Amino acid sequence: MALMVRRLVQLYVGLALYGLGIALQVASGLGNDPWDVFHQGLSRRFGLSIGAWIIIAGVVVMLAWIPLRQRPGIGTISNVVLVGVFADLFLWLLPEPSALAARWAYLVTAVLVGGFATGCYIGAGLGPGPRDGLMTGLAARGRSIRVVRTGIELTVLAIGWLLGGTVGIGTLLYAVAIGPLTHVLLPALTIKQPAPEPVPEPEDREPVRAA
């Protein structure tokens, strides 16, 4: 029970921080990560908030799990609903940076927070995010996970840019830094699951012989 509580706390802290990271990077105006270029482009072209489009896109991506036979966990559902909510909340709360130094501080903090948040919610072991699950589901069909991830992110980046999402130095910085950050932080934040107790062997007994 205590272990599950710890996993849930880490999951929801991670999702809140992930939303904070998105808000910081968007507010910096220096370029979003590929998926948030897409979400921001949809927001600018069709209305609704960035957070609302994060939720809508997450639901659509989860529908793509069906033919891939991926199974969501509580972490997956929570990711779909809460990351967008937290992103909108922090975009509302954060003061808008005006000086270039403040914008860079937002950007660098966003990347660091995003790496830590990714380690938190994945390390909780309660289900991947919808976009991560799409990537691993496609890769499980014999494709390189690096090729799949690059293809998906370049596609949403291009569509988001065409829709008016912000692409810039922040987009490049996120792409370069998030992998190494997650590689370092994920092992430290992964909650080890207890090994299942071995099933006891049935006792050897002499066969009952008929009299």
The rounded average pLDDT for each run of 10 residues, N- to C-terminus, in the chain (211 residues) is 90 96 97 96 96 96 84 91 96 94 97 93 87 79 78 93 96 90 87 68 54 46
CA-CA distances (angstroms) from residue 161 to 12, 36, 59, 167? 30, 10, 22, 7
What pLDDT does 115 receive? Answer: 92
Structure tokens at 35: 């998926």
Burial status of residue 71 (CB atoms within 10 A of its CB: 0-12, 13-18, 19 or more): exposed
User: How far apart, in whole angstroms, are the C-alpha atoms of residue 131 and residue 148?
Assistant: 11
Sign of the torsion formed by the C-alpha atoms of 156, 157, 158 and 161:
positive
Residue 8 CB neighbour total at 10 angstroms: 15
Tell me the C-alpha distance between 109 and 107, whole Å.
5
Provide the pLDDT for residue 211: 46
User: What's CA 192's distance to the chain center, in Å?
Assistant: 20
